[in-house]
Homo-oligomer: A and B are copies of this chain.
Amino acid sequence: MTKSLVLLSGGQDSTTCLYWAKQKFDSVEAVSFDYGQKHILELQKAEVIAIKSDTPWKVLHCPKMYGSSPLTDSNEKVGNYDSVEDLPEGIEPTFVPARNILFITMAVNYALSRGIKDVVTGVCQVDYGGYPDCRADFIASMNMTLNLGIYGEHYRYEPLGKDQITIHTPLMYLTKKETVLLAKDLNCIEALGDTHTCYEGTNPPCGKCHSCLLRARGFEEAGIEDPLMKGEK
C-alpha cells in the first residue's frame, strides 16, 4: 500500500495537493503547522478540509523562529497592491529564513514515525513571490539532505528508490491558472471554497495582498469562478 503525507496549510495550493495525493496514493494523511501565525483561521480551514476529505490530520507545533514577518508579527503590515503588475520584485516581506526547511524537516520526521516516506508540498516556483525555498533546486537539495542525514551515504549516487524519502511538488511548474485547472481535473474546485489564502486573514479576503491577487488572476484566467468569492461580487 502506498502512503503519503501532505503539508496542508489550508490554502488553495496545498488543498489541491491533498486531492492530487488522494488520486496517486492508497493512503493520505496531512499535517498543518502552528508557527505562531496571526491568522488561526488557517488552521481552522485546514481542519475543515481534512474532515471533509476524510483525511487523518495533525497539527505540528513549531519552535519559535527568528526574523520578523507580517504573518506572525502584528507590528508589521502586509503589502496592499491594486493589481498583480504592482507587486514588487524580490523576496516577499513575509519570508522567514529557513522556515520551509523547518516545516519539511518536521513533516518528514513525523511521516517516518507513521511509516510514510512520500511527502507532498504545494510549493511552486512560477508564482513564488521571491521565496527561495519554494524553488525546485531548493527542494532537490532538501530531499538529498534528508536522505543523506537519515539514511546515510549508501544512497548517495543511486536514483531515488522506494526506500527513500521523496518530496513531491505537483505544482512546482504550474501557473496559478494551471493549478486551478488541475483542481478542476481533480474535482476539488468546491473544496477550494473552504480554503484560506489572504495574508490579511480577513473573510471575505482583502483582495489586495500578494496572495489574493495571484489567486484571483488564476481563477480568472482559468475561466472558473472562485467558490470562495461566490456572492461577493
Q: Chain B: which residue is nearest A144 at the CB level? A: B141
**A63 B66 Cβ-Cβ under 8 A:** no
Closest chain-B Cβ to A132's Cβ sits at a distance in Å of 3
**B137 A101 Cβ-Cβ under 8 A:** no
Which chain A residues (106-164) contact chain B, with CB distance < 8 Å?
106, 108-110, 112-113, 132-133, 135, 137-138, 141-142, 144-146, 148-153, 156
**A65 B109 Cβ-Cβ under 8 A:** yes
Closest chain-B Cβ to A98's Cβ sits at a distance in Å of 4
A205 interfacial contact with B, CB 8 Å = no
Whether A110 touches B148, Cβ cut-off 8 Å, given contacts A98-B105, A105-B102, A105-B105, is: no
Which listed residue (B109, B132, B145) contacts A97, Cβ 8 A? B109
Report how many residues on chain A are interfacial, defined by Cβ distance under 8 Å. 40
A62 interfacial contact with B, CB 8 Å = yes
Cβ–Cβ < 8 Å partners of A101 in chain B: 101, 105, 145-146, 149
Number of copies: 2
Extra contacts besides A132-B152, A132-B153 (17): CB < 8 Å = A61-B63, A67-B109, A96-B109, A97-B150, A98-B108, A98-B146, A101-B105, A102-B105, A132-B148, A132-B149, A132-B150, A135-B152, A135-B153, A138-B152, A141-B149, A142-B145, A144-B145
Closest chain-B Cβ to A133's Cβ sits at a distance in Å of 4
Interface residues of A (CB under 8 A from B): 60-67, 91, 96-102, 105-106, 108-110, 112-113, 132-133, 135, 137-138, 141-142, 144-146, 148-153, 156
Q: What separation, in Å, do the CA atoms of A112 and B60 have in the docked complex?
A: 24
Cβ–Cβ < 8 Å partners of A61 in chain B: 63-64
Which listed residue (B97, B109, B144, B153) contacts A102, Cβ 8 A? B109
Cβ–Cβ < 8 Å partners of A112 in chain B: 66-67, 97-98
Cβ–Cβ < 8 Å partners of A109 in chain B: 65-67, 96-99, 102
**B105 A149 Cβ-Cβ under 8 A:** no
